[in-house]
Amino acid sequence: MLLSPASDPPPWSGPPVRLGILASGSGSNFAAIADAAAAGGAPYRIAGLVYNNPGAYVATRASERGIPARLVDHRGFGGREEFDAAVVEALRAMEVEWVAMAGWMRICTPVLLDAFADRVLNLHPSLLPSFRGLRAVEQALAAGVTISGCTVHLVRPAVDDGPIIAQAAVPVLAGDDADALHQRIHAAEHALYPRAIALAISQARAGAEGEGAAR
């Protein structure tokens, strides 16, 4: 697995950023992020989880780690904007500063993105800009690529669009099916996402400090 960029974020000083996680399913990436934060040294700590599917296993993972979790079921809302407004309300109640989508199977609207401008991250199982959207692994196999992987990026209104923070390359092996490639990409995601979150937060602080010094 090749991670890009190769450099690690600089050591963090000061209080960690309060990170909220959005998830819809089993929460393996949620667990990787939370465990990295608990290990110490990360520029973030997990303020809480918002999930949209009743019975999603990610809620169990949060409970096991003592992390607050709130269900906001999209089925109870009339549209995406109304749902996102409820998600924003839940995140603000947790005093969240940054947001990481970890298997969040919802398309975000400006209601969410404007509330956390340039502070919403997503993980996608391809080397963007290739293979956006659903079934990215299957798209890669159908295209016959020899290298796939995953990407962490800042979220924009278009699906799987936005500035890339970091990527991990995963080889496609002879005889791979979607399940086999998915498993190897998942392993890369668990290594990449906590590091990419730390990198994004560190880059944002460095940019803000640079702007302040220029004034």
Grade residue 35 by pLDDT with cuts at 50, 70 and 90: very high
Contact yes or no for 51/25 (Cβ under 8 A): no
Q: What is the b/e burial string over 138-160, where b = at least 16 CB atoms within 10 angstroms of the residue's CB?
A: ebbbeeebeebbbbbbbbbeeeb
Mean pLDDT of 152-158: 95
pLDDT tens, position by position, 162-199: 999 999 999 999 999 999 999 999 999 999 999 999 99
One-letter identity of residue 36: A
Residues with a catalytic annotation lie at 124
pLDDT tens, position by position, 76-113: 999 999 999 999 999 999 999 999 999 999 999 999 99
Mean pLDDT of 115-121: 98
2 has a pLDDT exceeding 80: no
Q: Residue 4: what pLDDT? A: 56
131 has a pLDDT exceeding 50: yes
User: What's the mean per-residue pLDDT of the chain?
Assistant: 93
Cβ burial of 6 (10 Å; 0-12, 13-18, 19+) is exposed
Grade residue 151 by pLDDT with cuts at 50, 70 and 90: very high
Mean pLDDT of 148-156: 97
Distance CA 52, CA 60 (A): 14
Query: What CA–CA distances, in Å, run from 32 to 19, 171, 182, 183, 188?
Result: 14, 22, 16, 15, 11
The helix/strand/coil state of 210 is helix
Distance CA 111, CA 215 (A): 31
Distance CA 84, CA 104 (A): 12
108's CB contacts (< 8 A; 6+ apart) are: 84, 101, 120, 155, 157
Tell me which fold the domain 16-214 belongs to.
Rossmann fold (3.40.50)
Grade residue 7 by pLDDT with cuts at 50, 70 and 90: low
Contact yes or no for 91/68 (Cβ under 8 A): no
Distance CA 39, CA 50 (A): 22
Grade residue 3 by pLDDT with cuts at 50, 70 and 90: low
Grade residue 6 by pLDDT with cuts at 50, 70 and 90: very low
**Model-level pTM?**
0.93
Q: Residue 5: what pLDDT? A: 53
Could you tell me the two tokens for 113?
Answer: 């993105």
44 has a pLDDT exceeding 90: yes
Q: Residue 13: what pLDDT? A: 75
